[in-house]
Amino acid sequence: MEPPGAARRRPPAMAAPALLTLLLLLLTLALSSASGAPVGEDYVRPPARPRAGQRKALLGLFPWSKKKASASASDPQQVHISLSGEKHMRITWVTDDNSVPSVVDYGTKSNAYTSSSNGESTSYSYLMYSSGKIHHVVIGPLEDNTIYYYRCGGRGSEFQLKTPPSQFPLSLAVVGDLGQTSWTTSTLNHIKQCEYDMLLLPGDLSYADYMQHLWDSFGELVEPLASTRPWMVTQGNHEKERIPFFKSGFQSYNARWKMPYEESGSTSNLYYSFEVAGVHVIMLGSYTDYDESSDQYAWLKSDLANIDRKRTPWLVVLLHVPWYNSNWAHQGEGDSMMSAMEPLLHAAHVDIIISGHVHAYERTERVYKGGVNPCGAVHITIGDGGNREGLARRYLCPPPHC
């Protein structure tokens, strides 16, 4: 599956059928609709019905207060998994009971656990809200392309996960700006129907926007999928939640969605990289420093220098704010980051750059420095997974030549 204008070095032939099956889900997930109506320039999406948890949080007198405890305070809630280095997986969950140990028992047969791993826990307070105990446990080494059964904290329900394959074919679900509406539910149902190995999310997860209840309801919403396949995410503007003089940014996001930044040599959870099958994936931070004197720039330069394209012939980058955007929404917001980092990515022969932020779908030809370039990357905007803000429908006319 080749993007148009491909005239540069290509990955080995074995990689071509795969395009990771990356683009297989992109358009579907970007524009999925519960109504089943045709999608196009004149498509008008029906109003969303907020999910019950979101409605209660929005109408609550104290929207920052702690959510109501579950039936059993020791039961694992909001379970999700992510990669944590080669052949390892991080299991994350929340409990209302602070005495629950951060331990995961696991094995390849149901209720027959042959291994156990201990981890760490954290919690945070945000104005009148106090989180539950947030557990992070790394398990492994694990076999590739294998189903494992696991139990969190020594009690509660059994979960199961499937590890990604070690070689192509590889299927990645990609969705941005997810939120918590009936549109979100439609998108998640589309994903559930697909055979995929991992989900990538380029920012704007819960749309909590300071109301910490919504981080909890988002964790509950995505648990059926996020507990079975790794979810690899990066931050968007809705994860900031910064209050000048009171709260630094990304406190909730960093506590709840720990990614393998340390494993990839990064000093920040806001940018990192990982490898899966024949793909090297870089997750960049649009809302942390990125100029040539920044830690992120230095880390990116080092990470790119250490990539083995024989081992990982595909190089994919995700970030929140698009660099190439013909939609009226968020025009020019990615220009300064593009100016700083595009030359690095171009020199490394990045194949695809995926972003969110703009609530629409768009794909360029191969581009570099603002124009079509046969050696440039294909840019894909995938920013409408179901968030409450709706579609961005207005595009520049005539469209740019990219």
The CA–CA distances, whole Å, from 147 to 73, 174, 196 equal 28, 22, 14
Instruction: Decide if 55 contacts 213 (C-beta within 8 A).
Output: no
Integer Cα distance of 356 and 354 in angstroms:
7
Integer Cα distance of 219 and 236 in angstroms:
17
Integer Cα distance of 278 and 267 in angstroms:
25
In three-state secondary structure terms, 68 is coil
CB under 8 Å to 13, separation ≥6 — which residues?
A: none
Catalytic residue among 80, 135, 238, 330: 330
Q: ∠ CA(295), CA(315), CA(250), 5° rounding?
A: 40
Question: Which run of H or E residues covers position 218?
Answer: helix 213-226
What's the residue count for the chain? 402
CB under 8 Å to 70, separation ≥6 — which residues?
A: 77, 96
CB under 8 Å to 122, separation ≥6 — which residues?
A: 134, 136, 255
Question: Which run of H or E residues covers position 372?
Answer: strand 371-372
Q: Which of 393, 398, 372, 373 is nearest to 383 (CA)?
A: 393
Integer Cα distance of 129 and 254 in angstroms:
16
330 is catalytic: yes
Q: Which of 49, 1, 15 is nearest to 280 (CA)?
A: 15
SS3 percent helix, strand, coil of the chain, rounded to 5, is 20, 25, 55
Which residue numbers are catalytic? 330
